[in-house]
Amino acid sequence: MKYLDVKKSKKNEPKPTTGITFKAGAIFVLVFLGIAGALGYVFKDKIKPIQIIANATVIDLKETDGRTNVLVLGSDQRDSGPEVGHALTDTILVASIGKFDKDVVLISVPRDLWVELSGGGYEKINAVYAFEGADGIKKAIEKVLGIPIHYHTLINFQLFKEVIDILGGVDVEVTSTFTDYTYPVEGKENASENERYETIHFEQGPQHMDGVTALKFVRSRHGDNGEGTDFARSRRQQAVIAAIKKKVLNVGVLINPMKLKGLYDTYSKNVDSNMDFMTIENFYMLSQQIDFEKIVSIVLDDRSSADQGGLLYAPTDTTLYGGRYVLVPQTGNFDQIHAYVQKYLFGK
């Protein structure tokens, strides 16, 4: 698979968004990178001396045209209730890391995108993993974005909770007081309405959160006081991401063998990935050179302008899609999306 050459048409391109401007699901990327960094630190004595001497310039990661693309899948896998063990990937995000520029571009793919299965037929992209596993969804993403996928990692919410608890909790700045009266209770999906939901409340100001509390904070969808929007939810995720990053990189954590072992154990239990330990070491080395304050985030949707990723639409006639809400490319194929992605990976 080859990248498109879009370097010659950059004059009128919109500037990418900089800073930690993650949409839903980007928290999985920082959790993964944070754990990779911690594991790399504790086992760094195994890294070849020449790599250390060269300040990690020799990095043995798969790449194409100087970029390594990692598919990060977030699975809301349930431990109880009628959805036990389901494999829907409600978070689908690609992190493209520049080997030479040391930049990161995050590409969010909506879970309702309608795609063709490798074995024939069509489905929403968040169900592809359940039908065809990691290879199937990697192929689907490659067709959608027009880029090769070198690595994949499937992370569930249990990892998110355990990481925060292993770190001893995180300190999060809550910007707005809000109450969500309809937060779903796991395992109570078929119960009465009174039992199906719980009320959660957060006060403005700094709060120390354990894993369960932080997960409720970032997943709440129906909060009052303006906290029921996707934008507000993304802002809360950003706050927790920053808190996790700060805690993981804290010297006290990095030199604590029990915490590091705990991070490794929970990573092993809760991650489905094609990355071996040497790959994680190399990601650690690369992560030391990346400025995480300058991550670029792009989102494909049906609401933004075309130059901001609004390249999809939701058909009003859903007969062809089994009556379900889906998103499809406006042009009928993914060529426009390929070009849009390319300018962010290689444009300046």
Instruction: List, in order of start, the domains of the chain with CATH numbers.
Output: 26-160+249-341 (3.40.630.190), 168-244 (3.40.630)
At 287 the pLDDT is 72
* Chain length of the chain: 348
Q: Do the beta carbons of residue 271 and residue 153 sit within 8 Å?
A: yes
Whole-angstrom distance, CA of residue 240 vs CA of residue 206: 12
Helix then strand then coil, % of the chain, to nearest 5: 40, 20, 40
Whole-angstrom distance, CA of residue 95 vs CA of residue 71: 7
Which range of 29-38, 40-49, 281-290 scores highest in mean pLDDT? It is 281-290
Whole-angstrom distance, CA of residue 245 vs CA of residue 28: 12
Whole-angstrom distance, CA of residue 48 vs CA of residue 46: 6
The three-class DSSP label of residue 279 is: helix
Say which residue, 41 or 294, is predicted with more confidence.
294
Span 199-256, pLDDT tens digits = 999 999 999 999 999 989 988 989 999 998 766 776 787 688 778 877 876 756 656 6
At 26 the pLDDT is 44
pLDDT band of residue 304 (cuts 50, 70, 90) is: confident
Q: How many helices (H) and strands (E) does the chain have?
A: 11, 14
Arithmetic mean of pLDDT, 71-93: 64
At 176 the pLDDT is 93
Whole-angstrom distance, CA of residue 66 vs CA of residue 346: 10
At 124 the pLDDT is 95
Helix residue ranges, H only, 198-334: 211-219, 230-248, 251-254, 257-270, 277-287
Choose among 304, 320, 238, 172: nearest CA to 19: 238
Regarding beta strands 104-108 and 197-202, do their DSSP bridges make them parallel or antiparallel, or are they unpaired? Answer: unpaired
pTM, two decimal places? 0.69
Arithmetic mean of pLDDT, 181-193: 82
Whole-angstrom distance, CA of residue 70 vs CA of residue 16: 20
Helix residue ranges, H only, 92-207: 128-145, 157-166, 193-196
pLDDT band of residue 147 (cuts 50, 70, 90) is: very high
Which range of 243-247, 291-295, 334-338 scores highest in mean pLDDT? It is 334-338
Q: Do the beta carbons of residue 114 and residue 104 sit within 8 Å?
A: no
At 229 the pLDDT is 78
Whole-angstrom distance, CA of residue 348 vs CA of residue 345: 9
At 14 the pLDDT is 37
Choose among 66, 16, 5, 92: nearest CA to 338: 5
Place of tokens 């991650």: 271
Say which residue, 344 or 41, is predicted with more confidence.
344
Range with the lowest mean pLDDT among 9-18, 54-63, 93-102? 9-18
